[in-house]
Amino acid sequence: MVLKTGIVKGDIFLKHTPGDGCPDTPKRLTSIYSMLNDPDMQDIFVDVGPKKAEQETVTLFHTHEYFKKIAETKGKNLIALTGDTHACKDSFNAALYAAGGLLKAISQVAAKNLDNAFALIRPPGHHAEKSRAMGYCLFNHIVLGAMFAQKILKLGRILIIDWDVHHGNGTQHAFERDPNVLFFSVHQAGLFPGTGFFTETGLGPGEGYTINLPIPKGYGDAEYTAIFESLLAPVAQQFAPELILVSAGFDTHKDDPLGGMLMTASGFAAITASIKRTADKVCGGKMVMSLEGGYNCDALSRAVKAVLKEMAGITCCDVNAMAAEANKKKVDFVVRRTIEVHRHLWNF
């Protein structure tokens, strides 16, 4: 059955130009938007026009002072916010529309006007802290999406999955004391930003609701799928979220210049199918993805296409068959370490 899958896209996201040398170029999105015109992608997806987020929405998480700091970059030439994160004259608007577009998609999925959705936006968001730009990120869209779902849509439990090759530090810090948001991150150990150890499990009432899986380089399609099936699926069913949000980074692709993983489009399809299967069981399929990293443009567009086809039900990956091909030693290392840290709260 073909599902109603929404897509957030727009020319505004191409106007964020953070300068020569930054891997987050507009070409990342032009490659994806071009792919959406392929014959096998026609007349399938629902266009969710981007919507500008208001200040009161952005300050659900970010401080008013930080919002003002980013707003002051509007109309100015390239400004360095940190050593790795820059803003141009259109970056503030791009970030506002990125956040607003994701929130619009979440609203439509929550209202069952869409089955699921993917916000194909930039700049990315998961590194942005409450009052600090970081890692090419200005506003933390996935955090704003979860807080919007909690405070405005009045949803209870939210599951956030982050499969970017880099740890989503900003997302973890936003919810590390909140037992109503489960943050599950699979990322490459030893990379920027240097956070996301197995032992970072949340604080106070949120203890156990942060699950970090820092894995060595060299994990591929089958290993990722087996990890999602062995660890995420049982925990998600116990947590029973009302909405699943995904920070979807594609820098785990084998051709990506920033990571050391071995994923392909088939693997991204498989982990999407795994999450979708879980979403169908626990929250009526309510799943919304937001684009994070992924810096080989050809690999990015192929992987996003595979994910979208799974989301829409055009393809149906055999998750069990993919997981069965995993290197058992690699998977067992992650499963064993995770169970050691989290057995007091979750049954795996």
Statement: the pTM of the whole predicted model exceeds 0.85: yes
Predicted local confidence at residue 314, as pLDDT? 97
Tally Cβ neighbours within 10 Å of residue 77. Answer: 9
- At which residue do the structure tokens 């199918």 appear? 273
Q: Residue 243 and residue 141: Cα distance in Å, rounded? A: 15
Domain residues of the chain, as ranges? 5-342
pLDDT in tens, 88-144: 999 999 999 999 999 999 999 999 999 999 999 999 999 999 999 999 999 999 999
Do residues 241 and 182 make contact, with C-beta atoms less than 8 angstroms apart? Answer: yes
pLDDT in tens, 204-259: 999 999 999 999 999 999 999 999 999 999 999 999 999 999 999 999 999 999 99
Predicted local confidence at residue 176, as pLDDT? 98
Report helix, strand or coil for 202: coil
Tell me the CATH number for domain 5-342: 3.40.800.20
Q: Residue 45 and residue 83: Cα distance in Å, rounded? A: 38
Do residues 322 and 315 make contact, with C-beta atoms less than 8 angstroms apart? Answer: no
pLDDT in tens, 3-23: 999 999 999 999 999 998 899
Residue type, 324: A
The residue from 86, 126, 127, 141 that is catalytic is: 127
pLDDT in tens, 21-77: 899 999 999 999 999 999 999 999 999 999 999 999 999 999 999 999 999 999 999
| CA neighbor of 58 nearest in space, from 87, 101, 86, 99 | 99
Q: Residue 149 and residue 157: Cα distance in Å, rounded? A: 9
Most distant CA atoms of the chain, gap in Å: 53
- At which residue do the structure tokens 């982990």 appear? 271
- Told to judge if 127 belongs to the known catalytic residues of this protein, a careful annotator would answer yes
Predicted local confidence at residue 2, as pLDDT? 83
**Full strand arrangement of the beta sheet holding 5-8:** 46-48, 5-8, 116-119, 287-291, 243-248, 158-162, 181-188, 210-215
| Start-end of H helices in 157-264 | 169-175, 221-227, 233-239
Predicted local confidence at residue 327, as pLDDT? 98
